[in-house]
């Protein structure tokens, strides 16, 4: 079995640009728009980065495609890939496996998004449901990877951070004077990539993390300055539903993130409705959490230039219908 492990340090701009050369063979840069109604809603200038406009409908289109490219250079005899996910990471791994003609197994917790599961199967992945949450699925994926001799694609790794950093380079280049960016935290790759590019460009942009109040692990860990395990019970913001964190990502946050905001599922649902009304975009719970956090801090950000990340648009249609109807 070969297991991916995080390596120390954050990527350089040269490494991010090199990752872009891999990613832009698959997709163009995503847009960032200043939506007038969204600006009115928050009472300030708001830029929305549309990572929901990728081939898998999420920012993770940028991750495994880079990770697997590097993996096959290091380990050309890789037999197959396996990963645990709530959806977007798995879609990314399945996409990369399909492009490299590698067999792929994805482990999801029971009760996972029906439509994310279908999308992973459509990309050729063998899907296995196991456990009650992401951590349980991850532990089973590690066990199964050992039995099959497949490489386990981790949720956090320097190459994954490097791939995600390409969208931050796009955003910070297009809108270099952002005062604050709100970043959802799953396992930490997105917020660490924001830190890498912000620091490399020597910007003064404040980075604010966002977690679900029903999955507060990284908020608690940030406050305690050490990993604190906590239940992950959010249904709507499933991309933030992580029970156990990663020490390396926490250390990056402690040195680079201003603070972490907790948002409830009700606040996330309201933000999903607002984003549809103001931009006519479908944004899944984890992405809408950035708007929910900005709304909670509206007085603090008044008069500032704000960046929000629509990290994905992969929400089951029946769930989204209930959100739009105000039933969630």
Q: How many folded domains does the chain comprise?
A: 2
- pLDDT by residue (tens digit) across 58-94? 999 999 999 999 999 999 999 999 999 887 899 999 9
Residues 25 and 140 in one domain: no
Is residue 3 a part of any domain in this protein? no
- Strand-pair category, 32-33 with 45-50: antiparallel
Residues 188 and 300 in one domain: yes
At residue 322, does pLDDT exceed 90? yes
Confidence band for 155, pLDDT divided at 50, 70 and 90: confident
Residues 234 and 267 in one domain: yes
Which pLDDT does position 3 carry in this prediction?
40
Q: Which two tokens stand for residue 219?
A: 């908020």
Q: How far apart are CA 154 and CA 160, in angstroms?
A: 9
Q: What is the CATH number of the domain that holds 133?
A: 3.40.50.1100
- pLDDT by residue (tens digit) across 195-235? 999 999 999 999 999 999 999 999 999 999 999 999 888 88
Is residue 19 a part of any domain in this protein? yes
Residues 187 and 244 in one domain: yes
- pLDDT by residue (tens digit) across 35-68? 999 999 999 999 999 999 999 999 999 999 999 9
- What is the chain's mean pLDDT, rounded? 93
Q: What is the mean pLDDT of residues 6-25?
A: 88
Residues 183 and 307 in one domain: yes
Higher-pLDDT residue of 243 and 159 is: 159
In this structure, how many other beta carbons lie within 10 angstroms of the beta carbon of residue 87? 28
DSSP type of residue 215: B
At residue 170, does pLDDT exceed 80? yes
Q: Which domain holds residue 74?
A: 61-152
Q: How far apart are CA 199 and CA 201, in angstroms?
A: 5
Which pLDDT does position 2 carry in this prediction?
38
Q: Which residue has the tokens 């629509």?
A: 310
At residue 279, does pLDDT exceed 80? yes
Which pLDDT does position 1 carry in this prediction?
36
């Amino acid at each position: 079995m070969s297991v991916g492990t995080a390596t120390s340090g954050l990527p350089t701009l040269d490494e991010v640009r090199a990752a872009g050369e891999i990613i832009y063979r698959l997709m163009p840069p995503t847009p960032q728009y200043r939506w007038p109604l969204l600006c009115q809603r928050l009472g300030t200038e708001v830029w929305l980065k549309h990572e929901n406009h990728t081939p898998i409908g999420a920012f993770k289109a940028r991750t495994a495609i880079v990770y697997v490219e590097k993996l096959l250079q290091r380990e050309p005899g890789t037999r197959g890939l396996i990963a645990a996910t709530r959806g977007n990471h798995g879609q990314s791994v399945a996409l990369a496996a399909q492009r490299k003609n590698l067999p792929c197994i994805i482990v999801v917790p029971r009760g996972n998004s029906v439509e994310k599961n279908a999308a992973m199967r459509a990309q050729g992945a063998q899907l296995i449901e196991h456990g009650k949450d992401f951590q349980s699925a991850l532990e089973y994926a590690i066990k199964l990877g050992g039995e099959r001799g497949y490489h386990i694609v981790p949720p956090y790794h320097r190459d994954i951070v490097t791939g995600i950093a390409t969208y931050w380079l796009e955003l910070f280049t297009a809108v270099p004077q952002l005062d604050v960016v709100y970043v959802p935290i799953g396992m930490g790759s997105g917020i660490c990539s924001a830190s890498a590019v912000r620091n490399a460009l020597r910007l003064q942009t404040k980075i604010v993390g966002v977690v679900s109040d029903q999955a507060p692990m990284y908020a608690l860990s940030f406050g305690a300055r050490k990993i604190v395990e906590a239940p992950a019970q959010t249904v709507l913001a499933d991309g933030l539903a992580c029970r156990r964190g990663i020490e390396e990502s926490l250390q990056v946050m402690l040195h680079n993130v201003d603070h972490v905001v907790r948002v409830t599922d009700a606040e996330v649902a309201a933000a999903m409705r607002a984003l549809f009304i103001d931009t006519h975009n479908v944004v899944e719970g984890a992405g809408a959490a950035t708007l929910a956090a900005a709304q909670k801090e509206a007085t603090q950000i008044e008069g500032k230039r704000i960046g929000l990340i629509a990290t994905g648009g992969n929400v089951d249609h029946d769930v989204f219908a209930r959100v739009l109807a105000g039933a969630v």
